Amino acid sequence: MTEALSAPRGTRDIVGEEAIAFAEIEEAATALFAHYGYSEIIAPIFESAELFTQSVGDDTDIVKKEMYVFEDRKARKLALRPEGTAGVVRAYIERSLGEGPGGVTRLWYNGPMFRYERPQAGRYRQFVQLGCELFGSSSPAADIEVIDIATRLLHRLGVAVEARLNHLGCRNCKRDYAAELAGYLKGHMDALCPDCRDRLARNPLRVLDCKVETCRRITASAPRIRHCDSCQGEFAAVKKGLDRIGVPYRSDPTLVRGLGYYTGTVFEMISSELGAQDAVLGGGRYDELVESMGGKPTPAVGFAVGVDRLAQLICMRQDKAWASSPVPYIFVIAPSSPHGSPRTLSDSQLEAIWFVHALRRIFEKKSRTEGAAPEWIAHEVSGRSLKAGLKLADKLRASFVAIIGEDEAANGTVLLRHMANGRQEQIAVRGIDEEELANKLDEWCR
Yes or no: say if 305 and 268 are a contact pair by the CB < 8 Å rule.
no
The Cα angle at residue 179 between residues 175 and 182, in degrees rounded to 5: 135
Contact flag: residue 115 with ligand AMP (CB under 6 A): yes
Tally the residues of the chain.
Answer: 446
Q: Which is nearer to ligand AMP, 109 or 127 (CB)?
A: 127
Helix residue spans in 2-139 (DSSP H): 16-35, 49-52, 61-64, 85-94
Supply the minimum distance, in Å, between the C-beta of residue 126 and ligand AMP.
8
Contact flags string 244-263 toward ligand AMP, x per CB under 6 A: -------------xx-----
Q: How many residues bind ligand AMP (CB under 6 A)?
A: 17
CB of 133 to ligand AMP, least distance (A): 13
CB nearer to ligand AMP: give 258 or 389: 258
Q: What is the rounded distance in angstroms from the CA atom of residue 225 to the CA atom of residue 253?
A: 8
Segment contacting ligand AMP by CB under 6 A, of 167-175, 219-227, 305-313, 326-334 = 305-313
The distance of closest approach from Cβ of residue 285 to ligand AMP in the complex, given in angstroms and rounded to an integer, is: 14
End-to-end CA distance of the chain: 49
Q: Does 87 bind ligand AMP (CB under 6 A)?
A: no
Q: Does 285 bind ligand AMP (CB under 6 A)?
A: no
In the sheet where 400-403 sits, what is the strand order? 376-379, 328-333, 400-403, 413-418, 424-428
The closest alpha carbon to 355, from 313, 440, 414, 291, belongs to 414
Rounded CA separation 357/150 (Å): 42
Q: d(Cα 45, Cα 70) in Å, to the nearest integer?
A: 13
The verdict on 308 binding ligand AMP (CB under 6 A) reads yes
Of the candidate spans 119-127, 147-155, 315-323, 355-363, the one that interacts with ligand AMP by CB under 6 A turns out to be 119-127
Q: Which H or E element spans position 365?
A: helix 347-370
Between residue 260 and residue 279, which ones bind ligand AMP under the rule CB under 6 A? 279
Contact 254, 220 (CB under 8 A): yes
Verify binding: residue 86, ligand AMP, rule CB under 6 A.
no
| Least Cβ distance, residue 321 to ligand AMP (angstroms) | 26
**In the set 281, 290, 334, 378, which binds ligand AMP (CB under 6 A)?**
281
Give the footprint of ligand AMP on this chain (CB under 6 A): 83, 115, 117, 123-124, 127, 129, 257-258, 279-282, 304, 306, 308-309
